[in-house]
Amino acid sequence: MERIKTLETRNLCESAKNGGCGECQTSCQSACKTSCGVANQKCENTNK
Amino acid sequence: MVHQYQLNGYNIVLDSCSGSIHVVDEVAYDIIALYPDHSADEIVTTIMEKYGHRDDVTEAEVQECVEAVEGLVKAGKLYTKDTFADIAGTFKERSGDVVKALCLHVAHTCNLNCSYCFASQGKYHGDRALMSFEVGKRALDFLMENSGHRTNLEVDFFGGEPLMNWDVVKQLVAYARSVEKERGKNFRFTLTTNGVLIDDDVIEFANKEMSNVVLSLDGRKEIHDRLRVDYAGNGSYERIVPKFQKMVESRGGKNYYMRGTFTHANPDFTKDLFHMADDLGFTELSMEPVVCAAGDPAGLTPEDLEIVKEQYEILAKDMLRRDKEGKPITFYHYMLDLTGGPCIYKRVSGCGSGTEYMAVTPWGDLYPCHQFVGGEKYKLGNIWDGVTNTALREEFRSCNAYARPECADCWAKLYCSGGCAANAYHATGTIRGVYEAGCELFKKRIECAIMMKVAQEDQQ
């Protein structure tokens, strides 16, 4: 019986290898302006 | 670090450091909770005591589930060790003094007189002023000169009310467009407006040039008009809603957000979001808790916070219903891209205020972000001489997901990246403090956003 289902997610440990290009949007710039959240930012690295 | 929670009928297990998300039944939920401190035999015994009466739970099968949990741990998808503290500061160090986003305060004045305005009716506790083209042009040059190898540069036309200086906005966009190619840059402009001065010219220009427009609307007419009034005390709802609708309708799918603020007057803010969606036809929505000084009557009370948390659940469930019915709406804080989201460097580095992101006043002074404008001790420098208060920049550079001891055991720190420096400052007097009420709401939002992903997967 399948008791555990795992969603497909970006592996954060793996992203340490080729991440950090800095091209993504600045966290507060888009819509909130009063709170910081990075989870809803899109990755814009063209060399992933 | 593992965070387990139950929401909307789902048992959700989040492995913070790998970013893995598991949806499990109650047996596996308990096994995962027992796993770190118990042997396999102890787990089987405990689980059989609790669930042994059920036909679908046998000893062999529980043993199998324990092994599956073990497999996930070995695969780096559960109880993944937190090894990111060492890289938390490296990204900003590696980026040096690169600046890639500016909030241009083109107008320190406003045609509305909203009592809850964090910017004190656009004046930021100072004089009224409009940014000249020369100052704005120098700000754009400062950005290009200091952006290193970054291609994408963001500029938000902000205020006060930026449409009170519209001609300068248009001239600045034209200037940026005229030089961006030869400088190897790509400008992305955002306009944040209260809508009062929107006309056909604004709509046409903004739809062509602004990759995002942020339109301030608090929701229901009685809520909006309670605080968003002109200097004669008249509410602005009737004047701005048709303009917003026209602008959004003609945007052709380009980004926009209806951006509201909720206060003590409407902790039941989903009514305002649903009004914007159902009665006004807007689909891209953002709603934020008010930021104000302690004791302000608009401020959210501890009782309000409980209501707000319930509201986030109501919103998430209703958005799932709308998805099913083929009439989806977007809520800014529930946008999660599980496979294409930010890398670990972004997640640990903090919001970038004071380093890669700065605000520029009409006079060309630089501040760490729009929320620090007007506080003299937070002046970083100016667009001619650059950052001269380097100690302040270093203070902001040191803000990251690992900068606060209070966050050490928090499962959400790779989602908030250490939180908003301005919120921390307003709540505690230091940018390295923790705005606890904000954390509570943030965590609730992330729980809801992840639950929605789980439910969407479940429905497929």
- Place A36 in a pLDDT band, splitting at 50, 70 and 90: low
Q: Does B118 contact A34 at a Cβ distance shorter than 8 Å?
A: yes
* ipTM of predicted assembly, 2 dp: 0.91
CA nearest B89: which of B371, B435, B397? B397
Rounded to an integer, what distance in angstroms lies between the CA atom of residue B418 and that of residue B82? Answer: 15
Task: Report in angstroms the alpha-carbon separations of A21 from A8, B33, B355, B401.
Answer: 23, 37, 15, 18
pLDDT band at residue A29 under the 50/70/90 scheme? low
pLDDT score for B366: 98
B160 prior amide bond cis, ω within 30: yes
Among the partner-chain residues B27, B94, B340, the one whose CB lies closest to the CB of A3 is B27
Of A8, A27, A36, the CB nearest to B338: A8
CA B406 to chain centroid, in Å, comes to 21
Quote the minimal CA–CA distance from A47 to chain B in Å: 12
* CB neighbour class for B22 (10 Å; exposed up to 12, middle 13-18, buried from 19): buried
What per-residue string of b and e applies to B55-93 under the rule 16 or more CB within 10 Å gives b?
eebeeeebeebbebbeebbeebbbbbeeebeebbbebbe
Interface of B with A in 378-407 (CB under 8 A): none
Distance from CA of A1 to the nearest CA of B (A): 8
User: B357 contacts in A (CB within 8 Å)?
Assistant: 26-29
The C-alpha of A34 sits at a distance from chain B's nearest C-alpha, in angstroms, of: 7
Instruction: Please report, for residues B246, B319, B380, the alpha-carbon distance to residue B35 in angstroms, rounded to integers and kept in the order given.
Output: 56, 34, 49
**pLDDT score, position A31:** 64
| Dist. CA A16–CA B337, nearest whole Å | 18
Whole-number pLDDT of residue A30: 62
Residue A26 confidence (pLDDT) = 81
Nearest CA in chain B to A1: B61
- The count of CB pairs under 8 A between chains A and B is 212
Q: Do B25 and A3 touch (CB under 8 A)?
A: yes
- The CA-atom distances, in angstroms, between B1 and each of B230, B236, B315, B440 are 50, 47, 28, 18
Check residue A22 and give its pLDDT: 84
**Are B343 and A27 within 8 A, CB to CB?**
no
Better-scored residue on pLDDT, A16 or B384: B384
Helix (H) or strand (E) holding A14: helix A12-18
pLDDT of amino acid B50: 98
Cβ within 8 Å of residue B437, ≥6 positions away: B300, B302, B305, B427
**Interface probe, candidates A11, A17, A30, A48, chain B, greatest B C-beta count within 10 A:** A30
The residues that bridge with B262 in the sheet, in sequence order, are B289
Nearest to B352 among A19, A27, A34 (CB): A27
Q: Is A8 on the interface with B (CB under 8 A)?
A: yes
Strand partners, B38: none
Note down pLDDT in tens along chain B; length 460 residues.
999 999 999 999 999 999 999 999 999 999 999 999 999 999 999 999 999 999 999 999 999 999 999 999 999 999 999 999 888 877 777 778 999 999 999 999 999 999 888 888 888 989 999 999 999 999 999 999 999 999 999 999 999 999 999 999 999 999 999 999 999 999 999 999 999 999 999 999 999 999 999 999 999 999 999 999 999 999 999 999 999 999 999 999 999 999 999 999 999 999 999 999 999 999 999 999 988 777 888 889 999 999 999 999 999 999 999 999 999 999 999 999 899 888 998 899 888 999 999 999 999 999 999 999 988 999 999 999 999 999 999 999 999 999 999 999 999 999 998 989 998 998 899 999 999 999 999 999 999 999 999 999 998 7
Which residues in chain A have Cβ-Cβ distances shorter than 8 Å to B371?
33-34
- Please determine, for residue A48, whether its predicted confidence score (pLDDT) is greater than 70: no
Res. A42: pLDDT tops 90: no
Calpha distance B44→B38 (Å, rounded) = 10
Of B18, B61, B100, the CB nearest to A11: B18
Q: CA of A46 to nearest chain B CA: how many angstroms apart?
A: 12
CA distance B455 to chain A (A): 11
Nearest to A29 among B154, B337, B416 (CB): B154
Angle, CA B70 vertex, CA B65 and CA B72 arms, to 5°: 95
Cα–Cα distance between B129 and B122 in angstroms, integer?
9
Would an 8 Å CB–CB cutoff place A3 in contact with chain B?
Answer: yes
